[in-house]
């Protein structure tokens, strides 16, 4: 793509013609989009549309099969822009939390800086304490994940990702595994984070969150972006039939 | 018929054998655990060549009798100039044997950790070694203890194989008493009871740990 270099000027993230296959199954069939610093993107789509895989490709948790990813002006390529550096700069929050069960909340949050950035223990733990306060969990610092609710575990996971001072946060269905009455705890933290100017890509079906926070909504189906625009454009005037039928199902649910 | 007096009269001799058995078990187990962890890690993360070599080792050991290995180490290695005294020869053969089983114990434990754990570690920027050391292995530690305790109990019993190279362990001494008193049943029953005294607490401990892990 000739315009690749100019496209990436000033952009936080540029994804070009991304493909991902598992064996003979192609899950992402050529996806391109870009985002500015501080931009908030919500990705929606039916299950199997490839939205989770797309997010997991951005930090190489799933290495893309083809295509280009440029992050912060640097082309991500195995070998060139070190994948590990990329992951330090991109925080990730998982559907299943994936907090470390053998560590306390505080240790969970401090581990990344301690191990990866070689931060001194005192400094790492002091900052971990601040981050736990930020997600409303100061009182759970010495609890292990097994003693916490899903909502609390997910907030620990958010604090753990923030401890690396990422430039972008990826949220892969962050509230799908959480009891309905606790979802707001997690969404509140995410809304506050967005308010502070954190760039984020959020895979979610939470329409309320998307309307409140998203600069742009991307709608995916069968491995392709079929529609994108502001929340009001996509939710109120969907152009594609598949978007309309999906939205009607989500709204009914 | 069992003559309890034979057991009691020769108890110090049986206990001396039991000490050899226990020493052999503990020393072999330490070497086997360290080697098993290394072999298991090499098998999982060492790449294609090392992975294949360790796989051959594990399968070869699991498919042959431990007794054969003891005979090779004690009787066959001297022919190529490697002459080990009895105790080291016994330790080497038992450790080489059990390392293969313990490597599989570690592999099963690592594989039982959900994939999301290493993904979370990688997402923070950790490399594979860091993820292993700080996230995966600490979690396998608890899961590995019950099966390791089981291996320990099995090793207590398998040390009896070294009587074939005339190590004076519990079984060997029991046979000596049998020959001396012309009554094999009594000392062998005595040996059986002493084996049970050693293995039962270990297996019970393993069961308790298993309940705790669940």
Tens of pLDDT along A62-110? 999 999 999 998 888 766 668 999 999 999 999 999 999 999 999 999 9
Q: Is the pLDDT at B13 greater than 70, yes or no?
A: yes
Rounded Cα distance between A175 and A170, Å, is 13
Q: How far apart are CA B214 and CA A96, in angstroms?
A: 20
What are A3's two structure tokens? 């315009």
Read off the DSSP letter of residue A167.
Answer: S
With a CB cutoff of 8 Å and minimum separation 6, the contacts of A228 are A33, A216, A217, A218, A219, A234
Q: Which residue has the tokens 């009895």?
A: B86
A184 touches chain B (CB under 8 A): no
CB atoms under 10 Å from CB of A239, counted, come to 12
Percentage of chain A with pLDDT > 90?
81
User: Closest approach of chain A CAs to the CA of B149, in angstroms?
Assistant: 21
| pLDDT given at position A81 | 63
What pLDDT is recorded for position A9?
A: 62
**To the nearest whole angstrom, how far is the Cα of A185 from the nearest Cα of chain B?**
21
Residue B115 has pLDDT above 90, yes or no: yes
Cβ within 8 Å of residue A153, ≥6 positions away: A97, A99, A145
The pTM is what? 0.84
Contacting residues of A for B116, CB less than 8 Å apart: 94, 96, 98
List CB contacts (< 8 A) between B112 and chain A.
none
Query: Of A214, A101, A108, A102, which Cα lies nearest the Cα of A161?
Result: A108
**pLDDT tens profile B159-205:** 999 989 989 999 999 999 999 999 999 999 999 999 999 999 999 99
- What residues does A74 pair with on adjacent strands? A71
- Whether A100 and B119 lie within 8 Å, measured CB to CB: no
User: Mapping DSSP to helix (H, G, I), strand (E, B) and coil, where does residue A63 land?
Assistant: coil
* A181-204 confidence digits (pLDDT tens): 999 999 999 999 999 999 999 999
Q: ∠ CA A246-A247-A253 to the nearest 5 degrees?
A: 95
Question: Which tokens in the block code for residue A192?
Answer: 């506050």
CB atoms within 10 A of CB A19: 16
B135 touches chain A (CB under 8 A): yes
For helices B115-123 and A150-162, give the axis angle rounded to 10 degrees.
Answer: 30
Contact B22, B91 (CB under 8 A): no
Ranges of chain A whose pLDDT falls below 70: 1-9, 78-81, 252-253
Q: Enumerate the residues of chain B whose CB falls inside 8 A of the CB of residue A115.
A: 124, 126, 130, 134
Secondary structure (3-state) at B52: helix
Q: In what order do the strands lie in the sheet with A168-172?
A: A90-93, A168-172, A199-203, A40-44, A216-221, A224-229
Closest C-alpha to A251, from A228, A230, A235, A233: A235
Q: Which DSSP letter does residue A50 get?
A: S
Nearest to A162 by CA among A139, A138, A180, A189: A189
ipTM: 0.92
Closest CB to B122: pick one of A87, A99, A161.
Answer: A87
In this model, does residue B111 exceed pLDDT 80? Answer: yes
pLDDT on residue A1? 41
Give A225's strand partners. Answer: A220
Strands A40-44 and A216-221: parallel
Quick check: B117 and A116 CB within 8 A? no
CA atoms within 13 A on the CB side of A45: 28
Question: What was the pLDDT predicted at A4?
Answer: 44
Distance in angstroms (rounded) separating the CA atoms of residues A123 and A119: 7
Residues 191-230, chain A, touching B (beta carbon < 8 A): none
Count of CB atoms within 10 A of residue A75's CB?
15
Residues 47-106 of A with CB under 8 A from B: 59, 61, 84-85, 87-88, 90-92, 94, 96, 98-102
Which residues on chain B are in Cβ contact (under 8 Å) with A112? 124-126
Compute the nearest-CA separation of B191 from chain A (Å): 42
DSSP-assigned letters across all residues of A174-191: TTTTS-GGGHHHHHHHHH
Residue of A nearest to B132 (CA): A115
| Facing residue for A116 by CB, picked from B116, B125, B142 | B125
- Minimal Cβ distance to B139: which of A59, A102, A164: A102
pLDDT of residue B21 exceeding 80, the answer is yes
pLDDT of amino acid B214: 65
Do residue B139 and residue A101 have CB atoms under 8 angstroms apart? yes
pLDDT of A79: 60
The CB density around residue A78, as the number of other CB atoms within 10 Å, is 9
């Amino acid at each position: 793509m000739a315009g690749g270099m100019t496209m990436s000027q000033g952009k936080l993230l540029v994804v070009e013609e991304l493909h991902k296959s598992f064996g003979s199954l192609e899950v992402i069939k050529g996806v391109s989009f870009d985002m500015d610093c501080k931009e908030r993107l919500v990705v929606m789509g039916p299950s199997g549309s490839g939205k989770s895989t797309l997010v997991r490709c951005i930090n190489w948790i799933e290495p893309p099969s083809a295509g280009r990813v440029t992050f912060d002006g640097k082309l991500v390529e195995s070998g060139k822009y070190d994948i590990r550096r990329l992951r330090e700069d991109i925080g990730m929050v998982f559907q299943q939390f994936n907090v470390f069960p053998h560590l306390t909340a505080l240790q969970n949050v401090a581990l990344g800086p301690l191990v990866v950035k070689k931060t001194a223990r005192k400094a790492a733990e002091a900052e971990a304490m601040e981050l736990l306060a930020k997600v409303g969990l100061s009182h759970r610092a010495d609890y292990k994940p097994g003693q916490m609710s899903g909502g609390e575990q997910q907030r620990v996971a958010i604090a753990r990702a923030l401890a690396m001072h990422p430039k972008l946060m990826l949220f892969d269905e962050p509230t799908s595994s959480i009891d309905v009455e606790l979802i707001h705890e997690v969404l509140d933290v995410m809304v506050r984070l967005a308010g502070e100017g954190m760039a984020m890509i959020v895979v979610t079906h939470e329409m309320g969150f998307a309307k409140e926070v998203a600069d742009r909504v991307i709608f995916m189906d069968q491995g392709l972006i079929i529609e994108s625009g502001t929340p009001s454009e996509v939710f109120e005037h969907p152009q594609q039939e598949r978007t309309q039928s999906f939205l009607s199902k989500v709204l009914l649910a | 018929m069992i003559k309890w007096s034979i057991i009691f009269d020769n108890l110090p001799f049986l206990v001396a054998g039991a000490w050899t058995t226990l020493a052999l078990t503990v020393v072999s187990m330490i070497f086997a655990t360290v080697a098993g962890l290394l072999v298991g890690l090499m098998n999982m993360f060492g790449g294609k060549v090392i992975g294949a070599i360790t796989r051959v080792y594990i399968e070869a050991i699991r498919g042959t009798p431990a007794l054969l290995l003891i005979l090779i180490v004690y009787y066959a290695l001297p022919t190529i100039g490697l002459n080990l005294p009895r105790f080291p020869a016994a330790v080497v053969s038992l450790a080489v044997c059990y390392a293969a089983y313990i490597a599989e114990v570690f592999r099963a434990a690592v594989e039982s950790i959900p994939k999301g754990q290493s993904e979370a570690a990688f997402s923070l920027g950790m490399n594979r070694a860091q993820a292993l050391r700080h996230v995966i292995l600490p979690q396998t530690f608890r899961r590995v203890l019950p099966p390791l305790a089981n291996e320990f109990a099995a090793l207590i019993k398998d040390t009896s194989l070294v009587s074939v190279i005339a190590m004076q362990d519990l079984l060997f001494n029991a046979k000596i008493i049998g020959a001396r008193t012309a009554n094999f049943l009594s000392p062998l029953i005595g040996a059986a009871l002493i084996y049970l005294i050693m293995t039962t607490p270990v297996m019970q401990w393993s069961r308790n740990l298993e309940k705790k892990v669940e």
